[in-house]
């Protein structure tokens, strides 16, 4: 379902949108704006998901740099041993 809305664009925004239509990349100005809104929605979802991951990470346990290096060295040693290196 489509909803008609009145919007305001700067001259440069309108020129760019019209250029995209003229190039055949979009069928209309509405299609350009709809795609722009979908991209903003997806960006917002991605940002929200990243913030959630960071929040969970901040709330979780942390290891010291030495512990991290030791764990990495142990993992590499296991992988090498598994592959006979």
Spell out the residues 6+ positions from residue 20 whose beta carbon is closer than 8 angstroms to its own.
Answer: 26, 32
DSSP string across 26-75 = SSSHHHHHHHHHHHHHHHHHHHHHHHHHHHHHHHS----HHHHHHHHHHH
Q: What angle do CA 66, 67, 73 make, to 5 degrees?
A: 90
- Using one digit for the tens of pLDDT, what is the confidence trace for 62-75? 888 999 999 999 99
pTM: 0.62
Average pLDDT over residues 33-60: 95
């Amino acid at each position: 379902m489509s909803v008609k809305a009145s919007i305001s664009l700067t001259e440069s925004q309108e020129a760019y949108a019209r250029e995209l239509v003229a190039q055949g990349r979009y069928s209309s100005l509405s299609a350009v704006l709809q795609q722009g809104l979908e991209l903003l929605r997806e960006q917002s979802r991605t940002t929200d998901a990243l913030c959630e991951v960071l929040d969970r990470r901040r709330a979780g346990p942390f290891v010291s740099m030495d512990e991290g290096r030791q764990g990495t060295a142990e993992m590499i040693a296991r992988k090498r041993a598994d592959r006979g290196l």
